[in-house]
Amino acid sequence: MKIAMIAFEGFTDVDLFMPWDLFYRVKDPTYAAYDGEWDVRICAAEPRFASYSGLVIDRHEPLAWAAEADAVFVVSGGGSRAKIRDPGWLAQLSLDPARQLIAAIDSGALILAALGLLEGLSATTYPSIFAELEAMGVRTERRPLVIHGNLATGGGCLATQDLAAWIVERLIGPDAARQILDSIAKVA
Amino acid sequence: MKIAMIAFEGFTDVDLFMPWDLFYRVKDPTYAAYDGEWDVRICAAEPRFASYSGLVIDRHEPLAWAAEADAVFVVSGGGSRAKIRDPGWLAQLSLDPARQLIAAIDSGALILAALGLLEGLSATTYPSIFAELEAMGVRTERRPLVIHGNLATGGGCLATQDLAAWIVERLIGPDAARQILDSIAKVA
């Protein structure tokens, strides 16, 4: 399986790095120990880019890599606003919910809306972003996770867990999804 | 205030990046909007190092920077085992709970134990690490957060939230601590 994580200059750290770490645990023998193909890449237009807080990372692949992915996870962050106004950036994202799972956290939903992927569907987002998403013609729901077939949106940074688990459950199964979530739980 | 985050080759992504992001929100005008000095740095012996999953970042400061910090947050990860067997690495960490807040998540507690900071105290850690911590002579408690004065340990990756909030509450106050936690909550 190929998983594309779509990121950009000005992403919110936790919205990329928490699901990145959860996806890593799918292969890790300590956690879900999945032994099939599992290839997770951070895709961006910028070869090297910074989070909103200033952490700098290198992309693994350009955006075009996402076109062949089995699942696409769109991150959030203030930098999303420049991207939804950039037709050249949007054009590099060739996504198809008929054959791909597509998930977006918080302002990542604005990117799905700009791509026309939320037409006729409802979505959730970050509390302060509902009005912005509605202004793009999307019906909103104040829930952590809204799923329509192969398309899911998450609201509130910690809902990245739900989105990652949804992708893993759909691609591998419920046991692997539960194992990665359990692996980051607080000690009880 | 100066906050040192102690990291190393082989750290667990979420254990560094989630509290890093929470600490960033202390200054962010959208969240806690604290207007005092608030300087958070990732400190490591390696100028450039990779997480257990292969993400590469640059350190901000060498380990010695932590000696003058108001609070020190020790991350977790498989790489911690090489560090607790490396007297040269440990000697660069000059920490003093009499004048600093010191927090450690999961296997970060092994580092506190190796530094002699847990003598006579109890601590928590990751579920699979309790026996290892006990073998270092530390009494363990199966709880998300164990606090003794200026020293706190967290068990399970998501307990990094509790540790970050504990540091922010002690250095700034309960409102700022609540605001950073609320800012990552799932939409309800």
With cut-offs at 50, 70 and 90, classify the pLDDT of residue A65: very high
Write down the pLDDT at residue A72: 98
Q: Please give the Cα distance from B11 to B19 (Å, whole number).
A: 13
CA-nearest of B48, B60, B41 to B9 is B48
How many CA atoms lie less than 13 Å away from B129 in the CB half-sphere? Answer: 27
Pairwise CA distance, residues A145 & B89, whole Å: 44
Please name which of A105, A16, A83, A106 lies closest in space to residue A56, comparing C-alpha atoms: A16
Residues B37-57 pLDDT 10s: 999 999 999 999 999 999 999
Contact B184 A127 (CB under 8 A): no
Confidence of residue B97 (pLDDT cuts 50, 70, 90): very high
Give the pLDDT of residue A144.
98
Residue B117 CB partners (closer than 8 Å, separation 6+) = B95, B97, B102, B151
Nearest chain A CA: its distance from B27 CA (Å): 10
The DSSP line for A158-170 is GGHHHHHHHHHHH
Residues of chain A with pLDDT > 90, as a percent, come to 97
CB contact under 8 A, B144 and A56: no
Q: What is the pLDDT of residue A111?
A: 98
Please state the ipTM of this predicted complex: 0.96
Average pLDDT over residues B113-139: 98
Among B3, B13, B14, which would you mutate to test the A interface (most chain A Cβ atoms within 10 Å of its Cβ)? Answer: B14
Pull the structure tokens for residue A186: 């607080």
CA A66 to CA A92: how far, in whole Å?
Answer: 9
Third-level CATH fold of B2-182: Rossmann fold (3.40.50)
Q: Which chain B residues contact residue A185 at CB under 8 A?
A: 156-158
Query: What pLDDT score was predicted for residue A67?
Result: 97
Who's near B160: CB < 8 A, 6+ residues apart?
B14, B15, B18, B19, B22, B105, B154
Inter-chain contact A20–B159, Cβ cutoff 8 Å? no
Q: Using CB atoms and an 8 Å cut-off, which of residues 122-141 of chain B contact chain A?
A: 124-128
Provide φ and ψ at B149, rounded to 5°.
60, -115
Using CA of residue A111, residue A112, residue A114, residue A120, what is the dihedral sign? negative
Phi–psi pair at B148, nearest 5 degrees: -130, 100
Q: Which residues contact A128 (CB under 8 A, 6 or more apart)?
A: B30
CB within 8 Å: B18 and A18: yes
The whole model's pTM is what? 0.97
- CATH architecture assigned to A2-181: 3-Layer(aba) Sandwich (3.40)
State pLDDT tens for residues A113-143: 999 999 999 999 999 999 999 999 999 999 9
